[in-house]
Amino acid sequence: MVDKDWQDRVKRPLKAELKRRGIGCRELAEKLEPLGIHETERNIANKISRGGFTATFLVQCLIAIGCTN
């Protein structure tokens, strides 16, 4: 697999979870703020679209949206 394939595999579950919960990038940015993570809506959209984000960012997003599994 090439890097693009790995990036797609990483971003799909996050995008799916956001969609399932009806949360967009703006709302995600708002939910990250109380955790001390300051990201703009645009920055989040870019990270997710390219699939180039850290495991830390992934976990932060999942915690911010209330995902426990």
Residue-wise pLDDT tens digits, 19-54: 999 999 999 999 999 999 999 999 999 999 998 899
Residue-wise pLDDT tens digits, 57-69: 999 999 999 998 7
CA nearest to 25, candidates 14, 36, 35: 14
| Amino acid in the structure at residue 46 | N
Query: How far is 41 from 45, CA to CA, in rounded Å?
Result: 6
| pTM for the structure as a whole | 0.88
CA nearest to 9, candidates 40, 52, 41, 45: 52
Cβ-contact 65, 17 below 8 angstroms: yes
62 burial (CB, 10 Å; 0-12 / 13-18 / 19+) is: middle
